[in-house]
């Protein structure tokens, strides 16, 4: 295939989004790099298309918007079975005696005696444990398990592949609720729970954060979603925590961690709750853990 990338200005994004809405479905998407804080318009074409034809399509749809932009990059990319490509990036790994293993490598991975393990096929859902945000959450859940006496219930917000919920179940936590606004993620999570024989301890639901019941409280709440969504839903998320509980927030760029920590600290103080917070970073990604008490 051929990938066409065009660097675009922030002030052109709204107009391009309107344009893409009008011509949908199309081969074009808008991408934002939150690290570099820039935007790109990307299109994907079959190999047999010419450069002239690509330029004609760009002029047809985007001429007025991109009239001053000539920064166009055309790149050949290999054909890929996208439904299977995630398997290349999901490798077995472990932390303090807990092992996360792809289902297709089950017979090739030796689990040490006394170790705990989880088999996973994430499909197209987010959450293999190899990405820093998920890895940080998994490590924190394992370490928290060593010191957390109450294991009655868990809330997993943005459950993705179900990896966090299933790990908690394997560690002895009970009555786990995993929610996601992606129906495929909910389906994949439930399938992974069955593979790991933890389906009896976990319920996965296609549910938005705003629909969580404020009168249901949890011993452990994990939210692995992006910073702006965390801040926007801080009241709903804090309202799900018990007086003595742990709140783990991830999916946070390191440069945004302090602002997320401050937003949640203010909300906890409004509820007159005592807490300790710690930020843990892995490169450009960070996790925040709040230990909440009366």
pLDDT tens digits, one per residue of 197-217: 999 999 999 999 988 887 899
DSSP conformational letter for 9: -
Which residue in 47, 51, 242, 252 sits closest to 133, CA to CA?
A: 252
d(CA 1, CA 206): 34
Q: Flag the least confident range among 109-123, 186-200, 234-248.
A: 109-123
Q: Are 16 and 69 in contact (CB under 8 A)?
A: no
Q: Which of 36-45, 90-99, 123-132, 133-142 shows the highest mean pLDDT?
A: 133-142
Pairing state of beta strands 285-293 and 274-282?
antiparallel
84 — pLDDT class (breaks 50, 70, 90): low
Across the range 73-85, mean pLDDT stands at 70
Considering only residues 63 and 176, tell me which one the structure prediction assigns the higher pLDDT. 176
Residue 81, pLDDT > 90, answer: no
Neighbours of 264 (CB within 10 A): 21
Domain boundaries defined on the chain = 2-76, 84-293
Mean pLDDT of the chain: 89
26 — pLDDT class (breaks 50, 70, 90): confident
Residue 154, pLDDT > 90, answer: yes
CA 219 to chain centre: 22
Residue 162, pLDDT > 90, answer: yes
Tokens of 31: 């991408």
Most distant pair of Cα atoms in the chain: their distance: 67
Residue 164's pLDDT is 97
Looking at domain 84-293, which CATH architecture does it have? 3-Layer(aba) Sandwich (3.40)
d(CA 141, CA 222): 9
Task: Give the chain's radius of gyration (CA, Å).
Answer: 22
124 — pLDDT class (breaks 50, 70, 90): low
Q: Do domains 2-76 and 84-293 have the same CATH topology?
A: no
Residue 178's pLDDT is 97
Considering only residues 205 and 55, tell me which one the structure prediction assigns the higher pLDDT. 205
What are the strands of the beta sheet with 176-180, ordered from one edge? Answer: 202-206, 176-180, 154-157, 218-224, 241-253, 285-293, 274-282
Considering only residues 232 and 13, tell me which one the structure prediction assigns the higher pLDDT. 232
Answer whether CATH 3.30.750 is correct for domain 2-76. Answer: no
pTM score over 0.85:
no
Beta bridge partners of 25: none
Residue 214's pLDDT is 78
* Burial classification of residue 125, based on how many CB atoms lie within 10 Å of its CB (0-12 exposed, 13-18 middle, 19 or more buried): buried
Helices marked H in 94-182:
132-145, 163-170
Q: Are 182 and 210 in contact (CB under 8 A)?
A: no
pLDDT tens digits, one per residue of 265-286: 999 999 999 999 999 999 999 9
Q: Flag the least confident range among 46-60, 92-106, 213-227.
A: 46-60
With a pLDDT cut of 90, the percent of the chain lying above it is 55
Looking from the CA of 96 toward its CB, the CA atoms found within 13 Å total 12
Across the range 147-157, mean pLDDT stands at 80
Tokens of 286: 């960070």
Q: Flag the least confident range among 74-88, 143-157, 234-248.
A: 74-88
């Amino acid at each position: 295939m051929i990938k066409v990338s065009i660097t675009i200005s922030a002030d052109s994004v709204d107009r391009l989004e309107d344009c893409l809405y009008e011509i949908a479905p199309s081969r074009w998407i808008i991408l934002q790099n939150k690290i570099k804080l820039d935007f790109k318009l990307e299109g994907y074409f079959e190999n047999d298309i010419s450069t002239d034809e690509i330029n004609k399509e760009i002029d047809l749809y985007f001429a007025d918007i991109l009239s001053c932009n000539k920064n166009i990059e055309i790149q050949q990319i290999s054909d890929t079975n996208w439904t299977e490509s995630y398997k290349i990036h999901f490798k077995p790994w472990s932390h303090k005696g807990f092992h996360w293993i792809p289902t297709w490598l089950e017979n090739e991975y030796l689990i040490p005696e006394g170790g705990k393990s989880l088999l996973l096929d994430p499909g197209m859902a987010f959450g293999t444990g190899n990405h820093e945000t998920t890895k940080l959450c998994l490590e924190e859940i394992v370490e928290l398990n060593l010191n957390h006496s109450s294991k009655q219930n868990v809330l997993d917000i943005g459950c993705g592949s179900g990896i966090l919920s299933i790990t908690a179940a394997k560690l002895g936590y009970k009555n786990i609720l995993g929610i996601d606004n992606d129906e495929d993620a909910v389906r994949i999570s439930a399938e992974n729970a069955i593979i790991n024989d933890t389906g009896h301890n976990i319920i996965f639901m296609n549910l938005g954060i705003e629909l969580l019941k404020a009168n249901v409280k949890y011993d452990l709440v994990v939210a692995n979603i992006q910073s702006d969504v965390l801040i926007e839903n801080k009241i709903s998320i804090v309202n799900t925590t018990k007086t003595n509980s742990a709140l783990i927030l991830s999916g946070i760029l390191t440069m945004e961690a302090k602002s997320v920590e401050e937003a949640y600290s203010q909300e906890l103080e409004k509820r007159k709750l005592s807490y300790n917070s710690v930020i843990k970073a892995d490169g450009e990604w960070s996790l925040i853990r709040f230990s909440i008490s009366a």
